[in-house]
Structure 1
Amino acid sequence: MTDDRMQGDKLLCEIYKSPRKEEMYLYVDKRQGLAKVPEALLERFGKPVSTMTMILTPEKKLARAQASEVMAAIRDKGFYFQMPPAKEEYLLDLYRTPTEARY
């Protein structure tokens, strides 16, 4: 008997967040867990904290990724790694610089 649950249009996915970096996530097949995630990535990621389990379909709306890309990465590599969004440096500099009105 072959297991074709990952070959169809649905995937039971477990999502973990990093305790070290905000908005860093790992998506994996719930049945396989973290078994296929490289050790070096887990060291950088920190001890994974499970945040949710969901059924992914290609048309599922995700905040910062295409569900179809997440599913393809899990099928190909065994995981999908989501980095935090890039912060615009100039916006951070504007925030850090005190503003003064000079007349």
Structure 2
Amino acid sequence: MLCAVYKTNKKEGMYLYLPEKDNFDDVPDQLMHQFGKPELAMLLPLHKRETLGRVSKETLVNALNDKGYYLQMPPKETDLLVEHRLSLGLSPREEAKKF
């Protein structure tokens, strides 16, 4: 199976996988509106891979067969300040001072 992978300029790391190049018929209109103008990133032969970035081949193929598309969201950004505070044994956020 060959799938088309599209990226968006609206959100770094967000990709839309389709089973057929330039066929957006199964993608909901609201999603296409939020995704913006899709830009073809690559054509990907699935039979040669087990994992694809952050998604397993099985999950991707199931989504393509069931929904007709797969939306890969960018990874959640790490809040380095929260991690640092936790490493020091502090609460994740500074408590508001009471007067």
Shift of 1:64: 0.7
> Matches of residues 4-23 of structure 1 in structure 2 within 5 Å?
11-23=1-13
Count, aligned residues: 84
TM-score between both structures, scaled by the size of structure 1: 0.72
| 1:26 to 1:91, Cα distance in 2 relative to 1, 3 A | farther
Q: Which residue, out of 67, 92, 95, partners 1:77?
A: 67
Gaps of 5+ in 1: 1-10, 95-103
Gaps of 5+ in 2: 85-99
Segments of 4+ moved more than 4 angstroms: 91-94
> Matches of residues 55-94 of structure 1 in structure 2 within 5 Å?
55-57=45-47, 59-91=49-81
Q: Which residue, out of 41, 47, 52, partners 2:42?
A: 52
What is the aligned-residue identity percentage?
37
Question: Could you tell me which amino acid in structure 1 is paired with residue 47 of structure 2?
Answer: T
TM-score between both structures, scaled by the size of structure 2: 0.74
Aligned-CA RMSD value? 2.2
